[in-house]
Structure 1
Amino acid sequence: MYKIEKDQTTKLLMDLVAIDSPYFEEDNIMNFVLEWFSSNHMEASVHEYHEKKVTGFKGKNIIVNLDSKKSGPVICINGHLDTVKLCSGWTTNPRGEVMDDRLYGVGALDMKSGCASTMVALRAFYENHRDFNGRIIATYVSVEEGPYGMGTNSLIEDGYLKDVDFSIAAEPSAGFTGNSFPDICLGARGGYGLEVEFFGVSSHAATPELGINAASDAARFICELKNVHYVEDPHLGRGSACVVAVESDGGACSVPDYAKVRLFWHIVVGENEKTVTDEIDKAIERAGIQCRYTIKFREAPSEGAKGFMPYTISAEEPMTRTFTETIKDVCRTDPSVSYFQSIGDFNYLGTRLGAPVVIFGAAGSNFHGSNEYVELESVYKTAEVIYAFLERVLTR
């Protein structure tokens, strides 16, 4: 009988971290994961997609389909194999370095930890339970860290996840919330990328009163964002607007007649494109700008990928309750319950499949930054929880 071992979980995670896989550059790690499942006698396939409309990117996902051919729940396990790009400031090895019970490296926490946990959990389940009820569809996707969540979006649009009853996104919930492991997230804020363009009138910088300064109006608008009225959600809290880029140039000595403010706007349940647009209109009115302006939500590959919609689920939903009880049994403590404050593939799963999604994974820190690390005991325990949950819902 196959048993999950911490050393094996750590070894697999180290192998994953050692492979460079920034978004748009995932071929090597996809090949590794495909071969890993094949060598462990599990059926895995490559799902290829081509995002033609915006990026032109041709990507891959790995799909593992464990089908009992008997009735029962369909469980989706989702993880992304890509990472953010290497940033500056590292003092540890970004390709993997173990110190005490921490593994440092790009993606060690976000989220190769979750991928390693689910991979060893699936191997243990397959070895111990060839006869079970229902189906497991495990997806290891590309370009989650990049634009549009293209890997998971393509799986949904190509129909691979249409029958799912319950999903586990093995993102590092404890690592993101800052709570002690174990922590389970029962929802997440959503968000949109958008830009506001300002069109003024140019004039010589010596006579700025003859023009309309687009840069100044953009600045006044930015200052008014602090007065936006955000919807308050009892679980997700409030939305937020973050200026991620500003563009304007008057040349050597001219009043700039154009400016662009690029935003990422996090939202909660009850907010949408219209509520965001309304708040921008109000902020511009308060700012008293003179420019003409337009609001443009970023172009998206498809209707479903225009934004990441927020969601929450009930702790009393039957499979969610079972998952929480499994955490308690394995970890011998009640998990804290949190709600994710940013976006990810779980938003697509939680709002487009019509089935509950939990976010559960490892502890650590410095995700998207230098010296990112994961606590190895939490990676192992995540694997144990997912294995025990699959056993509980598919073999009884």
Structure 2
Amino acid sequence: MEKVIPRDEYETLLKQLVQIQSPYFHEDDVMAFVCDWFEKKGVPAEIHTFYEPKETDFHGKNVVGIMDSGRPGPVIYLGGHLDTVQLCNGWTKPPYEGVTEDGYMYGVGALDMKSGCAAIMLAVAKFAKEHQANGSFCGKLIYHLVSDEEGPYGLGTVFIINDNIHNVAKEADFAIIAEPSAGFAKVPHPCVCLGARGGYNYTIKVYGKSAHAATPELGINAMVDASLIVGELEKIPPETDEKLGSSSPCVIAMHGGGAACSVPDYAEVEIFHHTVRGETKKTIKDRVDKAIKAANVRSRVEVVFRQSPAEGFDGGFDAYCIDENGEYLKKLESTIEKVCGKPANTAYFQSIGDFNHIGGKLGIPTVLFGADGDNFHSSDERVNLTSGWEVALSINEFISDVLCNQEGKNEC
């Protein structure tokens, strides 16, 4: 097929994005660049601002846009995040230059997920140039590039939903989140993820009794009791899902004690529990209560879930799967095969992200489709440039097919 988006345009834009440092909570510069880029291309876009005062005191920004034909038709949602993780140690390549080597581009966020954001930007700009001015489409195209996906709450998408930007919750028929699906799932490109596990963060707080370390029998060692609880929790079989696999609680932090010569009277264990469909706060709490009972500890124990700072969210991420035979998914798979010259592989994502809010909480059929690469959240992160470019081509071809070639609608 004709390559309607030149590869060098993709590489140039991605390099520009990588050269703008945008760790979560520090995205203003990249948001300004992207909004300006859209405006220069004649693509409707604006900055959506929000403020979260309770937990983070964060003044955030998202780039949001919509092309509305004014006629009935499908509503397609494209989403991505422009923030990155913090710079880590161990880099052997310049982390903010967008160096290319052997078909890869290196840089913080090059794979996760500025590769996908560049693909969305170019696909949307091409669509606008060909179809917006002359109105040769039906329905709506919504595109949101958000902040704070890598942060603790995913606030960018949370406030997109709570502020009802473009009425996504009620209008979107299908969503593509351009996360690096092949890179994350370790499945050959092209890869489409048809769902994702969810997750909750909680803390087990253990209250013991202090005593001199020379006479520990006179106290209640909170650290020991916390360890016993974790040991029992590890024995409980995971929940299983035919698509998503198994749930997995993981101890991510443990604190307590610290006095020079005393029995620790307090300990806490922080756990992130990746969920499968059907798991809730209650089912997770029941598991922990079962472990506490089996451990037979003397300490008083409290289980506290991390709360969301935003109204309408419970601090977790909903697991979800989509219909494997859905109309829009089949069209996307057909488009991908046309662009890439081979069928798309399918997988299910094992961790969490903004897609859980779109696909899980809102119930919009949501796929992850993005580039291949490796070392995400690590040193020498890199993206396979051919795969990212093919994502841009596929998204453009898909939205053009869905919004411009509706059978029985001659005006489209």
Between the aligned partners of 2:250 and 2:11, the Cα distance in structure 1 is 37
Match of 1:185 in 2: 193
Structure 1 residue 128, shift from structure 2 partner: 1.5
User: What is the match of residue 21 of structure 1?
Assistant: 22
- Please identify, of 241-250 and 265-274, the stretch whose mean Cα deviation from structure 2 is larger: 241-250
Q: Give the 3-state SS of the residue equivalent to 1:185 in structure 2.
A: strand
**More displaced stretch, 192-201 vs 300-309:** 300-309
Shift of 1:169: 0.4
Aligned to 1:111: 113
Structure 2 portions without partners, runs of 5+: 406-412
Equivalent pair of 1:311/1:351 in contact (CA under 8 Å): yes
Q: TM-score, normalised by structure 2?
A: 0.94
Is residue 2:177 matched to residue 1:169? yes
Q: 1:204 offset after TM fit, Å?
A: 0.2
Alignment-derived partner of residue 333 in structure 1: 342
For residues 199-227 of structure 1, give each alpha carbon's deviation from its aligned partner in whole angstroms, at most 9, with x where no partner exists.
00100000001100001111122222321
Taking the TM superposition and a 5 Å limit, the aligned residue runs for 1:218-229 are: 218-229=226-237
Aligned match for 2:328, one of 303, 308, 319? 319
Q: Which amino acid aligns with 1:144?
A: E
The answer to whether the aligner puts 1:391 opposite 2:400 as a matched pair is yes
Count residues in correspondence.
Answer: 396
Q: 1:380 Cα shift?
A: 0.4
2:353 and 2:88 map into 1 onto residues whose CA distance is: 20
1:102 offset after TM fit, Å? 0.3
Residue 343 of structure 1 corresponds to which residue in structure 2?
352
Letter aligned with residue 356 of structure 1: P
| Distance in 1 of aligned mates of 2:331 and 2:160 | 26
Structure 1 stretch displaced more, 103-112 or 130-139: 130-139
**Secondary structure of residue in 2 paired with 1:129:** helix
Give yes or no for contact 2:42–2:128 (8 Å, CA) kept in 1. no
Unaligned runs of 5+ in 1: none
Superposed counterparts of 1:250-261, under 5 Å: 250-261=258-269
Aligned-pair CA distance for 1:305? 4.7
Per the TM alignment, residue 247 of structure 1 is displaced from its structure 2 partner at its CA by 1.0
**Corresponding residue for residue 139 of structure 1:** 144
Question: Counterparts of 1:1-396 in structure 2 under 5 Å?
Answer: 3-95=4-96, 96-130=98-132, 131-160=136-165, 161-162=168-169, 163-301=171-309, 302-396=311-405
- Give deviations 1:217-247, integer Å, cap 9, x for gaps: 1112222232122211000001101111111
For residues 65 and 377 of structure 2, what CA distance do their matches in structure 1 show? 28
Q: Secondary structure at the match of 2:271?
A: strand
Q: When the two structures are superposed, what TM-score results if normalisation uses the length of structure 1? A: 0.98
Q: Summarize deviations over 1:103-143 as a string: whole Å, max 9, x none.
A: 01100000000000110111111112222111111001000
- In 1, Cα distance between equivalents of 2:66 and 2:203: 40
- What SS does the corresponding residue of 1:303 show, helix, strand or coil? coil
SS of equivalent residue, structure 1 residue 216: helix
**For the residues of structure 1 that align with 2:126 and 2:58, how far apart are their CA atoms?**
35
CA distance in 2 between counterparts of 1:292 and 1:190 reads 29
Deviation at 1:289, TM superposition (A): 1.7
Give the CA RMSD over aligned residues.
1.2
More deviation, 66-75/76-85: 66-75
CA contact (8 A) 2:194 2:368 kept: yes
Q: Distance in 2 between matches of 1:248 and 1:113?
A: 41
Residue of structure 1 equivalent to 2:409: none
Sequence identity percentage = 47
Aligned-pair distance for 1:327? 1.1
- The 1:373–1:167 alpha-carbon spacing in structure 2 relative to 1, beyond 3 Å, is same
One-letter code aligned to 1:70: R
